[in-house]
Structure 1
Amino acid sequence: MSVIPDGTPVVLLNAFPVDRAQWDPLIDAMADIDALPGDVISFDMPGIGEMPIPDEEPSLELIADAAVAAMRETTGHDAAVWIGCSMGGYVAMAVAERHPDAVAGLGLIATRSTADTREAHENRLAMAAAMDGAPGVPDPRAMAEDLVGTQGPGRAALVDAIAANIATHSGAGIAWGQRAMAARPDRTAVLAEIDGPAVVIGGEHDKLVSSHDIAVMAEALFIEPVLVYGVGHLAAFEAPQEVARLLAPLTAG
């Protein structure tokens, strides 16, 4: 866990399977436009980065409960703005369901509120089984290629950075995350109960989350979705200045 030193805290929840370094460009961009009035906390997921794998069964709810407790202990605030990308979005929605009083605002990036389809569920469990006991992802670059949507001369550096990040994580961590995501329920109805500002952001070239997925969440929140052009699944890493501008209303006032 890392903290950047008051106003409402911001909690950043990672995509799978990268660590909290994915947020560094966004943190810089939000600081540049004075969109960070309080503490900023970024969490690695269990088995990713510096976060150990817990003894408990894989569960997004476990992460959500721990994140709320850590946020409150670290900042002294009862509520924060929760910003999650992909798996981090799933955790943010679990926070909203289990700890609604901890949510002062919600930013959902390249994620979905629905549960996995049967095929997606089975694919996650198959990947988890393949990763048990493995040193890590066999082809980090191939996985990174699917996460980055940017085209042109800037693409190679972004893919290299994400591939290098993915390569540092163990197979056990990958397996834990896949099983946790496979077990998640549909939380679309939870979004309709959110009492605070919200932003839903998608990437034009996202291969993993569709524009329909983004629209479902936005409709439940009674807001308009925003599509960031020219980027993929890791929109905040690929276009940090644009995403910072879109997220800024969550921390205003």
Structure 2
Amino acid sequence: MRKSINNGNITWLDEGKGATIVLIHGFSENATIWDKQTTLLKEHYRLIVPDLPGTASSPLHTPLTIESMAEYVYAILLAENISEAVVIGHSMGGYIALALAEKYPSLIKGLGLFHSTAKADSEEKKEGRRKSIKLMEQYGADTFLRQTLPNMFSPATKENRNELVEAYVKMGIECQLPALVAYYEAMAARPDRTAVLTALKVPVLFMIGKDDNAVPLENVLPQITLPRISSIHIFENVGHMGMWEIPAKSNVILEQFIAFCQL
């Protein structure tokens, strides 16, 4: 069931019953990125899946920051009277989950970083985001996304399952230029949150693709020992899109992690 508050300015999908799981999508995505997960998990849990500002039917709110998007998610949980949840974020969604955990640690029953990192952008990464914004503004978001988004998948996926790449690009180009620019600026401005991982008392899940160009293995590995309890999964022939590239394996891991967080 799709819900909204604040005159439709905050929208989300609410499915299933049981302990609450929050799934937060990433850059150029929307709530449907998690469809393969919600279909399974809603049989045992309640799924809250936001459409972040500027995606799907949710209008863009400016200025936009990682922190403001964390507050957006928190507003949904308040509206639903949810006091604790396992929060899992993909890529930019992981940055939002970390910001939520930093400000509202008692809310977090478990934290999942799905191809994401607690580190801030390096100067090189920030410069890359600035160049990407210029390219989108000069040549259009569609052209940029058609060239960039395929790189989110492993070479094996691009060669053997191109329909996934095409579906992901189709989703991406539905996101408007102002939102894409705002996301890049928000990601570039975010602080380092590795201290959040150290402070958390709940389990933390790390999902890592060996072929991930957006959040490389070497970026994440130093972080896996920071939490008190870590669940670490590294996949061959997987890029930045494990929820699509290996949905069955991803779902098993998510189910096991979520069940562990309920103990």
Same fold flag (TM > 0.5): yes
Once the two structures are superposed, residues 25-73 of structure 1 have per-residue CA deviations (whole angstroms, 9 ceiling, x without a partner) of 1222435xx5x42x21112222222221113x22100010120121231
Counterpart CA distance in 1 for 2:152 and 2:32 is: 15
Structure 2 counterpart of 1:26, one-letter code: Q
Q: Give the equivalent residue in structure 1 for 2:164.
A: 158
Q: Structure 1: any 5+ residue segments left out of the alignment?
A: none
Once the two structures are superposed, residues 73-104 of structure 1 have per-residue CA deviations (whole angstroms, 9 ceiling, x without a partner) of 12x22011100010000000001101111101
Q: Structure 2: any 5+ residue segments left out of the alignment?
A: 1-11
- What fraction of aligned residue pairs are identical, expressed as a percent? 27
Counterpart CA distance in 2 for 1:4 and 1:154 is: 32
Choose 86-95 or 232-241, whichever is displaced more: 232-241
Between Structure 1 and Structure 2, the one with more strand by share is 2
Counterpart CA distance in 2 for 1:179 and 1:137 is: 18
Q: Give the equivalent residue in structure 2 for 1:2.
A: 13
**What's the CA shift for 1:226?**
1.1
Q: 1:225 to 1:5 in 2, by over 3 A?
A: closer
Counterpart CA distance in 2 for 1:224 and 1:7 is: 23
**What's the CA shift for 1:202?**
0.5
Counterpart CA distance in 2 for 1:134 and 1:105 is: 41
Q: Give the equivalent residue in structure 1 for 2:36.
A: 25
Choose 166-175 or 144-153, whichever is displaced more: 144-153
Counterpart CA distance in 2 for 1:7 and 1:173 is: 33
Q: 1:133 to 1:211 in 2, by over 3 A?
A: closer
Structure 1 counterpart of 2:254, one-letter code: L
Counterpart CA distance in 2 for 1:199 and 1:16 is: 20
**What's the CA shift for 1:224?**
5.1
Q: Give the equivalent residue in structure 1 for 2:112.
A: 107
Counterpart CA distance in 2 for 1:139 and 1:129 is: 10
Once the two structures are superposed, residues 172-201 of structure 1 have per-residue CA deviations (whole angstroms, 9 ceiling, x without a partner) of 110010011011000001111112122111
Choose 99-108 or 237-246, whichever is displaced more: 237-246
Structure 2 counterpart of 1:127, one-letter code: S
Residue 249 in 1 paired to residue 260 in 2?
Answer: no
**What's the CA shift for 1:229?**
2.4
Residue 174 in 1 paired to residue 180 in 2?
Answer: yes
Q: Give the equivalent residue in structure 1 for 2:90.
A: 85
Counterpart CA distance in 2 for 1:168 and 1:6 is: 30
Q: TM-score, normalised by structure 1?
A: 0.90
Counterpart CA distance in 2 for 1:159 and 1:30 is: 24
Q: Give the equivalent residue in structure 2 for 1:203.
A: 209
**What's the CA shift for 1:157?**
0.7
Contact 1:214/1:225 (<8 A) preserved: no
Q: TM-score, normalised by structure 2?
A: 0.86
- Which one scores higher on RCO, CA 8 angstroms, separation ≥ 6? 1
Secondary structure (helix, strand or coil) at the match of 2:183 reads: helix
**What's the CA shift for 1:154?**
4.2
Q: 1:182 to 1:151 in 2, by over 3 A?
A: same
**What's the CA shift for 1:116?**
0.7
Secondary structure (helix, strand or coil) at the match of 2:27 reads: coil
Choose 164-173 or 224-233, whichever is displaced more: 224-233
Q: Which of the residues 47, 50, 59 maps onto 1:52?
A: 59
Structure 2 counterpart of 1:181, one-letter code: M
Task: Give the aligned length.
Answer: 247
Q: 1:105 to 1:209 in 2, by over 3 A?
A: same
Q: Which of the residues 68, 71, 78 maps onto 1:72?
A: 78
Root mean square deviation, CA, Å: 2.0
Contact 1:199/1:225 (<8 A) preserved: yes
Counterpart CA distance in 1 for 2:142 and 2:200 is: 36
Structure 2 counterpart of 1:3, one-letter code: D
